[in-house]
Amino acid sequence: MKLWDKGFSTDKKIDLFTVGNDRELDLILAKYDVQGSLAHAKMLHKIGLLNQEEIEQLEESLLTIAGDIEKGNFTIEDDFEDVHSKVEYLLTQQLGDTGKKIHTARSRNDQVLVDVHLYLKDEIKEIKSLITVLFNLLIDLSHKNKAVLLPGYTHLQVAMPSSFGMWFSAYAESLIDDIYMLNAAYQTVDQNPLGSAAGYGSSFPIDREETTKSLAFATLKYNAVAAQMSRGKSEKSIAYAMSSVAGTLSKFAMDICLYMSQNFGFISFPDELTTGSSIMPHKKNPDVFELIRGKCNKIQSFPYELTLIANNLPSGYHRDLQLLKENLIPTIQTLKACLEMFTFSLKEIKVKTNIVDDKIYDYLFSVEEVNALVQNGTPFRDAYKIVGQKIATGEFNPDRQVNHTHLGSVGNLALEQIQEKMEKALS
């Protein structure tokens, strides 16, 4: 069944090419299609296009379909082009002409739009929830390890003292930036497109404010053409937000892979979280974090893929837009899996407590020596030369005590302020 069927057949090759994997992806969107249909039916009843008996029948049937979807009993067979045609077919089979009325004053275009908007709203909330769990773990790890010093690097050269508390909380605070991006994406998709029909509105006196309330959107996309043009922009907004999250995870995963190597040896994980080699019995490979790094790097390419599909399309609907969901849904699932695995694995991290005692980290404390001279009255440039000379002649003997007091430094991690900032971002 095709909603655009005019009574003649379509060549099978064309059918397979144009439908693609829509049926499989639409199973994920099915519950949202029913939600949109329920809201639309209630609105049609409110404006007098459905009588009381018809709305009651439609509501009962749609709730039955929703129950089947929740139980996993809903399928989209090859006879159907997509979820919209399958739902309408079920309603027509059960209710006859009443089922046929469900498509009054709407198009598949605004059905897809409302389904994707509702889906993205839920997924953004779930991604934020997963980020929050990881954030809380990082704050806990920061508290536990705030006094454990860690070498800081610039250009991969030993630079200045850091700490595990600083390292963990740096990624915690970076996640807040990712929440800001997700909040912006949420605001973009929290606009009701239903009622834009094929992108130019309808001659029926529909009540779009009614469906906005019914579907719990913050506002509606008022202009019907603008609503249609949000297809592509909505997907791109969450793609950029996911790319931001993926960038944080990828960098963090790279740090972990580096710090686990024998050349660093700063951290370790239990054997069950690492893998071995088929010929090297000593190996403990950070495969989980390497895969997170690789998957997150793929996610960071996703906004550009969407841009290349949609950036030169004029206003109005074009079939190219169907391709947007092909990787949207899998990419969201991949990011959620990466967040879950990161949290699951990071819980078991073990940190080395005496790293900076090694003589190779003597120069970590050169800046501390310069600053101590300055605080005792030596001009900075002179102090810099004095310490530089000691290093050059092998006379530098560092004081390994670190006394940083300003906000955000080794001695003052500002964990409470970072937590407060996250709470505001989530609210």
Query: In the structure, what pLDDT confidence band is assigned to residue 153 with cuts at 50, 70 and 90?
Result: very high
Is residue 426 scored above 90 in pLDDT? Answer: yes
12: pLDDT strictly greater than 50: no
State the Cα–Cα distance between residues 39 and 29, nearest whole angstrom: 16
Residue 128: Cβ-neighbour burial (10 angstroms; 0-12, 13-18, 19+):
buried
Confidence label for 151 from pLDDT (cuts 50, 70 and 90):
very high
Calpha distance 2→232 (Å, rounded): 24
User: How would residue 46 be classed by pLDDT, with cut points 50, 70 and 90?
Assistant: very high
Q: Which DSSP state fits 84?
A: H
pLDDT of residue 281: 58
Q: What does the pLDDT read at residue 252?
A: 98
Hey, how many other C-beta atoms are within 10 angstroms of the C-beta on 394?
7
Domains belonging to the chain, first-starting first, are 12-103 (1.10.275.10), 108-203+221-357 (1.20.200.10)
pLDDT of residue 8: 45
Q: Are 346 and 137 in contact (CB under 8 A)?
A: yes
* Mean of per-residue pLDDT scores for the chain: 91
Q: How far is CA 241 from the centre of its chain?
A: 6
Structure tokens given for 256:
């972990």
Q: How far apart are the C-alpha atoms of 337 and 333, rounded to whole Å? A: 6
> What mean pLDDT do residues 29-42 have?
96
Entry field: residues in the chain: 427
> Which residues contact residue 156 at a Cβ distance below 8 angstroms, ignoring those fewer than 6 apart?
none
Dist. CA 344–CA 358, nearest whole Å: 31
How would residue 14 be classed by pLDDT, with cut points 50, 70 and 90? Answer: very low
Cross-strand bridge partners of residue 275: 285
Residue 191's DSSP bridge partners are 219
Which residues, in sequence order, are bridge partners of residue 350?
A: 268
403 is written with which tokens?
Answer: 């006394």
Task: Give whole-number Cα distances, 22 to 28, 88, 377, 423, in Å.
Answer: 10, 16, 72, 38
**What's the confidence (pLDDT) of residue 16?**
46
Confidence of residue 345 (pLDDT cuts 50, 70, 90): very high
Exposure string over 142-178, b if 16+ CB within 10 A, otherwise e: beebbebbbbeeeeeebebbbbbbbbbbbbbbbbbeb
Question: Whole-angstrom Cα distance, residue 207 to residue 205?
Answer: 7
Both tokens of 280, joined, read 């090297």
Name the 3-class secondary structure at 266: coil
CA 129, CA 122: separation in Å to the nearest integer? 11
CB 239 within 8 A of CB 306: yes
CA neighbor of 164 nearest in space, from 141, 132, 136: 141
Contact yes or no for 101/36 (Cβ under 8 A): no
Of 286, 291, 120, which Cα lies nearest the Cα of 189? 120
